[in-house]
Amino acid sequence: MSMNTQGRPTRADGAALSDTPTFTGNKALQIEEALSFEIGDVARTGVDLAEPTGGAHRLGGLHRDSDIGLPGLTEPETMRHFVRLSQKNFAIDMGPFPLGSCTMKHNPRLNEKVARLPGFGDLHPLAPQSAVQGALELIDRLAFWLKELTGMPAVAMSPKAGAHGELCGMMAIKSALDARGEGSKRTRVLAPESAHGTNPATAVQCGFTVEPIPADSTGRVDLGALKEKLSDDIAGIMVTNPNTCGLFERDIRAIADAVHEAGGYFYCDGANFNAIAGKVRPGDLGIDAMHINLHKTFSTPHGGGGPGSGPTVLSDALAPFAPVPYVVHENGVFHLVETRRAAKAETSGADSMGRLTAFHGQMGMFVRALAYMMSHGVDGVRQAAEDAVLNANYVLARLKTEMTPAFDGFCMHEALFDDRFLEGTGVETIDFAKAMIDEGYHPMTMYFPLVVHGAMLIEPTESESKRELDLFCNALLSLAKRAKAGEVEPFKAAPIYAPRRRLDETAAARNPVLKWRPEAQAAE
Amino acid sequence: MRYLPLNDADRTAMLAAIGAAKIDDLFEDVPADSLNATFDLPDHLGEMEVERALGAMAAKNRAAGEGPFFIGCGAYAHHVPATVDHIIQRSEFLTSYTPYQPEIAQGTLQYLFEFQTQVAALTGMDVANASMYDGSTGCAEAALMARRVTKRKKVILSGALHPQYAAVTRTNLELHNDNVIQAPINTGAAEDLASMIDDETSCVIVQNPDVFGNIRDLTPIAEAAHAKGALLVAVVTETVSLGAIKSPGEMGADIVVGEGQSIGNGLNYGGPYVGLFATRQKYIRQMPGRLCGETTDAEGKRGFVLTLSTREQHIRRDKATSNICTNSGLCTLAFTVHMTLLGEAGLRRLAMLNHDIAGKAADALGAVTGVEIVNKSYFNEFTLRLPKNASAVVDTLAKEGVLAGVPGGRLWPDDPAAENLLIVAATERVTEGDIETFALKLREAL
């Protein structure tokens, strides 16, 4: 009462429930926001710049005379526009974000701070090498951590994201096969049906054909079926470990041996390396290449869909074909090997696969990842993996009373459920996921992996406390009970309290509207 | 460990609830002899110690802001307004995921829609996607897309395309044994690419302004390509230039790829950056990468979703147009915020300011005895021909505190024709004092 300076204490009992729409369409803190194109105009600007005086006479007669069509906003308008937009997003800083296979863990702000030091953030990629020794040292140091944690002899740092790292690894395999004179003969790649979509897409982008490896009844690679598919035209296999069912491939060494015996290579998708980092070195298991998503395992922010970073570790057999550029350390000085010719001299004659990107990779992500690693230390990296696995198993144990785990036994860092517990309720996986939104949670990964009906893949990560996990499990158990009790409607209507109700994705694809157009044009 | 909420009491209680005696029981599927490997790595550190160690590494680098700075060639030192960095560090943007649940990701989706609209307008194209990793990988993706559209396997690369973009494109197309023809290095903007185009050609890739800074009229090469059923891919590495010179769309390009770093994003030693990718309406189903589209929700309210996903790897797998998944979300936001602050008026002014400053730099450097300006036209970057090896000159000037530009030997180490070339960029961050110092030190070094 003392807080009410108007002298009129508010009372809760007068607030009759009402769903009368507001005049503005706003709902208190949820404020509708138009597109910047509908707010601003082309004369308005939020920057103060000096008046240009020189004219356009050196533009070769190609001055842009036509209207561009870019409205501007002043600084306060810009700030308000984007802050309002931000408030329509869910984020890991707001609550559990248990997207399986995506690894939404805490993003330390120290990492943001150090990445913005001028010596990193304001550093040009083509500055003379004498002016970038600290950057090369950082890349070299991060490479050391990655090689040590994976037990692999080499790492390509330039891949820009996980899928780019897959491309790097598969290109290294192609290069190695070419060097053996078997490039045109070995064209088949095998990948489990549970694989991320990037695996088959990458294999095809490399010019391979791709075939599925069947899973066994425990959710793992069927070793017998795999062996039957191996022959002298096999280039390699792509296997995620721990796999996308959240399970460790317990036959991994036998898988590696079989592929090597057939003359192929083993690409390991490292998207789930966070489950075993600091516990197990993939290099001890017989792999030839593996990308590491710095934006998953080492917590560089996902940023609404990137940027990522996908350094790729390589075995002795594949290392000579690594992409340029890379850092070499000699007599206390770091230098860059930037061309195929220079790499050839460096590797006594092997042909580098070439260049995957301009410049040197995602340096801004390297700084953040190294800050994460140094902060955790190897003891903290190991503890993080253990806690991630513990949290997932705790969720599995608590939820299995009402929900149906896809497979028996413990899981690794993520718990996979199918939709058997919803059978006959009329509620489907998507309805269950959308109902989680109303309860204040980001849904788990749904309908992936494809090998499980109505899949729900929950990855809590090590960043959740036991209290958060208990609240989360209580909410899911309550939803499961309500679905089984026949309360279908709230599920079908969900989400009710989000900034938007369910969106019509079919209409969006049928008649794609991919940019804003002035009303007159849009009506045409 | 400050980042881990569980304590030992929690862990014990949770193991009991799970029915495991110890943590390693959960790792029972791992081959026993590989579990709990040992590592030659240090233990955890406090925030202060980490900051100190990384600060020491940063201090060994020379930041662009430390003195006269003239390096460009695909990455440009522009001023980024403080507002941009504040907005991209908001938790709701920084710590969210790809907007697969659109009802609680409208913030991300709406700015992607605004970004696509901005990029389409800037490039003069019908549609743009929600970003690629960077300009160079976007360039390779454009060549792959042209291959899908035309079903042809020959690509022609201009002799003034950034050599690292050319290398990335070559690396990707060689996987399919395609014929990649690299035109010889050309500093003059008047290369004859038209005669190289034939009925097998899928696309011609031309940069504008080109890597030497020349501004090119793309219209003739677009016409020549179209006459043979080939596409013109235009590459823009300096997005600010689109505020001053005709857009590739106006000059007939079929696909425009760009490096968006100049708008809202720092130099970051080469990444993360943001690839722009735009094309004509008729090719949208062949585009790589994510697309955001408008739709309505169950109450009829406007909203946004990721759309045309049947092109993408998570739906289409081995039939996808590209393997790209994660793109440059947060860099896209930085671009969108900065472009919103600029608006058309601000962008045009920024562009002409860059052009003014580059003109002053060219006049001062061109007046140094023995130095020849190669360009007839330029935007904010131009090329000097020095009387001696430019790499040595750059090293000398770096010792004097001047970062003078990119020597030809760095980009074309195997081509003697490039040895004496120095590519110089001047943005709005360059002062007249910087230009004077550069000219003085260059005179001394020659």
Cβ burial of A222 (10 Å; 0-12, 13-18, 19+) is middle
A371 vs B54, B332, B341: nearest CB = B54
Closest by CA position to A47, among listed B207, B235, B428: B428
A397 vs B17, B63, B85: nearest CB = B17
Contact A279 B305 (CB under 8 A): no
Please check whether residue A92 is in contact with residue A106, taking contact to mean a CB–CB distance below 8 angstroms.
Answer: yes
A57-88 residue pLDDT tens: 899 999 999 999 999 999 999 999 999 999 99
Closest by CA position to A103, among listed A372, A315, A285, A402: A372
Intra-chain end-to-end CA distance of chain B, in Å: 57
pLDDT at B218: 97
Q: Looking at the 3D structure of chain A, how many domains does it have?
A: 2
B298-325 residue pLDDT tens: 999 999 999 999 888 888 899 899 999 9
Within this chain, do residues A300 and A395 fall inside the same structural domain, yes or no? no
Contact A52 B352 (CB under 8 A): yes
Contact B295 A306 (CB under 8 A): no
Contact A307 B328 (CB under 8 A): yes
Q: What share of chain B is helix, strand, coil (3-state, %, to 5)?
A: 45, 15, 40
A-interface mutation test, from B76, B91, B103, most A Cβ less than 10 A away: B103
Contact A515 B127 (CB under 8 A): yes
- pLDDT higher than 50, residue A1: no
User: Is A391 within a domain?
Assistant: yes
Within this chain, do residues A327 and A454 fall inside the same structural domain, yes or no? no
What ranges in A215-332 are assigned the alpha helix state H?
A: 223-229, 252-261
ipTM: 0.98
DSSP state of B258: E
Residues of B in contact with A306 (CB under 8 A): 98, 131, 133, 272, 326-332
B259-281 residue pLDDT tens: 999 999 999 999 999 999 999 99
Residues of A in contact with B333 (CB under 8 A): 82, 303-304
Within this chain, do residues A156 and A303 fall inside the same structural domain, yes or no? yes
- Render A353-396 in DSSP notation, one character per residue: --BSSSTTS-HHHHHHHHHHHHHHHHHHHHHHHHHHHHHHHHHH
Contact A503 B297 (CB under 8 A): yes
Q: Tell me the domains of chain B and their CATH numbers.
A: 65-80+343-445 (3.90.1150.10), 82-337 (3.40.640.10)
A-interface mutation test, from B250, B340, B348, B391, most A Cβ less than 10 A away: B340
Domain CATH code at residue A407:
3.90.1150.10
How crowded is residue B437: how many other Cβ atoms within 10 Å of its Cβ?
Answer: 17
User: Is A516 within a domain?
Assistant: no
B393-414 residue pLDDT tens: 999 999 999 999 999 999 999 9
pLDDT at A520: 67
A495 vs B43, B103, B314: nearest CB = B103
CA–CA dist B42, B38 (Å, integer):
11
H or E, element range at B407: strand B406-407
Residues of A in contact with B51 (CB under 8 A): 110, 113-114
Closest by CA position to A480, among listed A173, B425, A472: A472
| Chain A residue with minimum CA distance to B26 | A410
Within this chain, do residues A288 and A394 fall inside the same structural domain, yes or no? no
User: Is A23 within a domain?
Assistant: no
| Chain B residue with minimum CA distance to A157 | B271
Residues of A in contact with B59 (CB under 8 A): 119, 134
B23 vs A47, A295, A390: nearest CB = A390
Contact A512 B111 (CB under 8 A): no
Domain C-terminal end among A369, A403, A430: A369
User: Is A332 within a domain?
Assistant: yes
User: Is A64 within a domain?
Assistant: no
DSSP state of A408: S
Closest by CA position to A422, among listed A408, A432, A434: A432
How crowded is residue B81: how many other Cβ atoms within 10 Å of its Cβ?
Answer: 17
Instruction: Identify any residues that bridge with B206 across adjacent strands, giving them in sequence order.
Output: B234
User: Is A417 within a domain?
Assistant: yes
- pLDDT higher than 90, residue A112: yes
Query: Which tokens in the block code for residue A379?
Result: 């003891």
Domain CATH code at residue A280:
3.40.640.10
A463-486 residue pLDDT tens: 999 999 999 999 999 999 999 999
Within this chain, do residues A253 and A347 fall inside the same structural domain, yes or no? yes
B42-99 residue pLDDT tens: 999 999 999 999 999 999 999 999 999 999 999 999 999 999 999 999 999 999 999 9
Please check whether residue B210 is in contact with residue B191, taking contact to mean a CB–CB distance below 8 angstroms.
Answer: no
B133 vs A303, A357, A498: nearest CB = A357
Contact A364 B268 (CB under 8 A): yes
Domain that holds residue A399: 378-499
A408-436 residue pLDDT tens: 999 999 999 999 999 999 999 999 999 99
Within this chain, do residues A347 and A226 fall inside the same structural domain, yes or no? yes
Shortest distance, CA A439 to any CA of chain B (angstroms): 12
Within this chain, do residues A195 and A334 fall inside the same structural domain, yes or no? yes
Contact B96 A304 (CB under 8 A): yes
Contact B359 A58 (CB under 8 A): yes
Within this chain, do residues A332 and A188 fall inside the same structural domain, yes or no? yes
Residues of A in contact with B13 (CB under 8 A): 466
Q: Per-residue pLDDT averaged across B128-137, rounded?
A: 98
Within this chain, do residues A346 and A262 fall inside the same structural domain, yes or no? yes
B-interface mutation test, from A29, A37, A39, A47, most B Cβ less than 10 A away: A47
- Render B281-338 in DSSP notation, one character per residue: GGGGGG--S--EEEEEBTTS-EEEEE--GGGSHHHHGGG-S----S--HHHHHHHHHH
Within this chain, do residues A229 and A312 fall inside the same structural domain, yes or no? yes
User: Is A5 within a domain?
Assistant: no
A-interface mutation test, from B112, B172, B283, B318, most A Cβ less than 10 A away: B318
Within this chain, do residues A264 and A352 fall inside the same structural domain, yes or no? yes
A280-330 residue pLDDT tens: 999 999 999 999 999 999 999 999 999 999 999 999 999 999 999 999 999
- Average the pLDDT over each of A221-230, A383-392, B127-136, B187-196 and give the range with the smallest value: B187-196
Contact A512 B94 (CB under 8 A): no
Contact B266 A94 (CB under 8 A): no
Domain C-terminal end among A369, A403, A426: A369
Instruction: Identify any residues that bridge with B207 across adjacent strands, giving them in sequence order.
Output: B235
Domain C-terminal end among A369, A400, A435: A369
Within this chain, do residues A304 and A401 fall inside the same structural domain, yes or no? no
User: Is A77 within a domain?
Assistant: no
pLDDT at A5: 54
Residues of A in contact with B268 (CB under 8 A): 115, 120-121, 123, 363-364
Residues of A in contact with B312 (CB under 8 A): 197
B65 vs A75, A118, A498: nearest CB = A118
